[in-house]
Chain A
Amino acid sequence: AQKITQTQPGMFVQEKEAVTLDCTYDTSDPSYGLFWYKQPSSGEMIFLIYQGSYDQQNATEGRYSLNFQKARKSANLVISASQLGDSAMYFCAMTSSNDYKLSFGAGTTVTVRA
């Protein structure tokens, strides 16, 4: 079984600063994928970034980057130059070669302050 852990229930960040959201995972499958989603108060789940377990480089998508440390089983999300519109709930999630169902962490609420 796969498990995702997000230990930060909520975070405050100043506008234009960077913020790191922690995510650790546990799986026995050698092949897996890690995802980050953003969920604003409207409720829709917005895909941000993906990291495959065999990818050699850390994934980046605009202001989002994923700090993938395979040996430590961590996949932290870094949001650079925070904007007010980044205020939302952020979920780390994963699938694996033996379980294609998406499993979510508990989520982290980010509040960006002006």
Chain B
Amino acid sequence: DAMVIQNPRYQVTQFGKPVTLSCSQTLNHNVMYWYQQKSSQAPKLLFHYYDKDFNNEADTPDNFQSRRPNTSFCFLDIRSPGLGDAAMYLCATSREEADGYTFGSGTRLTVV
């Protein structure tokens, strides 16, 4: 089945140690999004790719970076994770028309 896959499902990283979260899709959607969701809060958009064009939200910290080497894959890099970066990270895709979003199952990041 076509879907959005996030790996790993759970990630534990040390304070200050770089970590990469991955997302892949088989839907051939041209837009891919990364959301951060802290406990009991709404998801917050960090950035998105429209094809190869990177779009950063104004309040996304510089500590967060992203790469999209091809249509299928998108990575979230956290250069120096702090305790405040512990959250669920959700990847989503959509067509340009944006009448359907597909979410991955998320990666729950713990910083120790």
Do A44 and B101 touch across chains, with their CB atoms under 8 A apart? no
Do A47 and B43 touch across chains, with their CB atoms under 8 A apart? no
Main SS of the interface on chain A? Answer: strand
Within the complex, the shortest CB–CB distance from B54 to chain A, in Å, comes to 14
Within the complex, the shortest CB–CB distance from A98 to chain B, in Å, comes to 11
User: A107: which of B42, B45, B92, B99 is its contact (CB, 8 Å)?
Assistant: B42
Interface string of A101-114 (1 = CB under 8 A from B): 11011110100000
Do B88 and A101 touch across chains, with their CB atoms under 8 A apart? no
- Give the total of B residues in contact with A, Cβ under 8 Å: 24
Within the complex, the shortest CB–CB distance from B10 to chain A, in Å, comes to 10
Interface string of A93-104 (1 = CB under 8 A from B): 001000011101
A41 to B84, alpha carbons, bound, how many Å? Answer: 20
Tell yes or no: B105 within 8 A of A by CB. Answer: yes
Q: How large is the interface on A (under 10, 10 to 19, 20 to 34, 35 or more residues)?
A: 20 to 34
B interface residue numbers (CB < 8 A to A): 31, 33, 40-43, 45, 48, 88, 90, 92, 94, 96-106, 108
Known: A45-B92, A102-B33. 4 other contacts (CB 8 A): A44-B105, A45-B43, A45-B106, A89-B40
A interface residue numbers (CB < 8 A to B): 33, 35, 37, 42-47, 50, 52, 89, 91, 95, 100-102, 104-107, 109
